[in-house]
Amino acid sequence: MTKLNRIDFFYAAMLIFAVALPFSEGLISTSIGLLFLASLFQLKKSEIKTRFRNRQLLLFPVAVFLVYVLWLVFTNDWHWAIYDLKKNLSYLLVPLAFIFAPSISAKLQRNVLYVFIVAVFSSALITFVYFYLQDENSLLEAQKYGFIHHIRFSFQLVLSLILIGYFLLTNFYKQKKSLKLIVLGGAIFLVVFLIWHQSLTGVLTFIGTAFFGLLILSSRIKKPVLKRIIFSLLLVLVLVPSLYLAYAVKRFYTVEKVTIEELEETTHLGNKYNHNLDNKLLENGHYVWLFVCEKELELEWNKRADIKYNEVDETGYPVSQTLIRYMTSKGLRKDAVGIRKLSDQDIENIEHGISNYIFADKGISLYPRIYMSIWEIDTYLKTRAANQHSLAQRIEYTRAAITIIKDHFWFGVGTGNWKKAYAEAYKKNQSKMDPARYGNAHNQYLNYMVKFGLIGLLLIAFFIVYPVVKSKAYRSPIVLLFLISMFIANFGDSNFETHVGSNFFIFFYCFFLFPWMDRSSEKLTQ
């Protein structure tokens, strides 16, 4: 076969991977295997030495995998050690694939990015439409819809927006006005989808990346008017989210005034209210455990609902608890009169496990997600209860990670030993969390510290950053913003501990750096 056939083979493998990322975890593994095999296809022995010499910087990410191997010297649990090695095998295969690969033209590189953007857009559009075809009562359920985990998909959205922004702001290709409008419309949809999908990690990553993107743009613009416009956008990007968050917190803690002596003792029907003044839990500024008459609640609820008062709702919580929280959120007293004021839609919402009426909204708004996060933190601080509360559990995960790091600061616990180390840390911290919910920190840097200590974390950081600096690939806005986005995203989750996250990162890391390390390849961006 000709050299062109070999290029086509590797090119096809990259296209398959670009399509697989937003659609299928299983196909990602397959496409990584195809990518590696395609790089070896008709590779001559005489070429191998030249490839290693010209692309030697791509060996540095391979060293990330070698850190896992080296830290096996500390391993006591070989089951999880093998699991770690398998999960990070892409750090070995993908860089080697790009080392052995034929040189790729800038046109083919752009085509891979175009296909990736279209795949991400298609995945988002299908998810969006499918959600509204279902009988869901809350936008908070949107995260359950999609082909891959919502956080991993969120930074695919961010990368797509980075690429679209770059393509629109440069003469990367001859753009017709109509095409620009279509692409701009697609970008607006992706931003809306990012908010709609309710991933705070993704939204914060997008805001942070956009901020640095505007800084890079301002450094390349000479016209004072445009610089002022960009400076104004930077202020908006910082102030609007900050003010909105401040508004949400203030709204949450704008609490009704309660005078103990003036609390009514009995309901309209003459039954006694229970006022638990020690429990300070809130819903929309109302105390949950004031004006509660369970006798009337149970009787009136059972008359109207299919799921009875002492049963569990569709999320597994006791209906009684969901009902009391929901009624509180509407400012209703928890008695017969309050039940009668609930609409049929309210009854359905409660049976679905919706605990606050503001969650029963399918419109595009981040407020319900922000409210839930504030509520979880508030509840955790008051009760230390974290079970089934995502953000509260993250706090427990972080506490456990810090406990481990204090005892194993320099070299960590070793590859595979993290499972046992975390279990012991939760017990040491006297965590109230169900052992079935024990997990690792949702922060990549803390997880690296747990496994490899400060030494291992610094080594991994060096292996990733050095090739970018040495090759001067940071001169490319795409490369720089991609790395910034992942740097931010990894504070919100342990993305490199996941199959999709690790493969996404290492593929695009090598893809973007490949032209800067191979003299025969055309640079994608400057």
3-state secondary structure 329-370: HCCCCECHHHHHCCCHHHHHHHHCCCCCHHHCCCCCCCHHHH
List the beta bridge partners of residue 318: 312
Structure tokens at 474: 């940071």
* Alpha helices (runs of H) in 58-199, residue ranges in sequence order: 59-70, 78-87, 90-100, 106-133, 150-169, 177-196
The amino acid at 417: N
Check whether 382 has a pLDDT greater than 70: yes
d(CA 252, CA 463): 44
Helix (H/G/I), strand (E/B), else coil: 287: strand
Check whether 521 has a pLDDT greater than 70: no
Question: What average pLDDT does the segment 364-387 reach?
Answer: 89
- What are 149-202's pLDDT values in tens digits? 999 999 999 999 999 999 988 865 566 778 888 899 999 999 999 999 989 999
Q: What was the pLDDT predicted at 1?
A: 43
Identify whether the C-beta of residue 389 lies closer than 8 Å to the C-beta of residue 434.
no
Report CA 334 to chain centroid distance, whole Å.
37
Helix (H/G/I), strand (E/B), else coil: 226: helix
d(CA 171, CA 174): 6
DSSP for residue 282: E
Q: Mean pLDDT for the chain? A: 92
- What are 462-483's pLDDT values in tens digits? 999 999 999 999 999 999 999 9
Identify whether the C-beta of residue 506 lies closer than 8 Å to the C-beta of residue 31.
no
- What are 107-159's pLDDT values in tens digits? 999 999 999 999 999 999 999 999 999 888 788 888 889 999 999 999 999 99
The amino acid at 348: E
d(CA 182, CA 238): 28
Residues 6+ apart with CB under 8 A from 483: 468, 474, 509
Q: Measuring CA to CA, how many Å separate 413 from each of 103, 133, 394, 451, 461?
A: 41, 48, 21, 5, 19
* Alpha helices (runs of H) in 384-443, residue ranges in sequence order: 390-407, 418-428
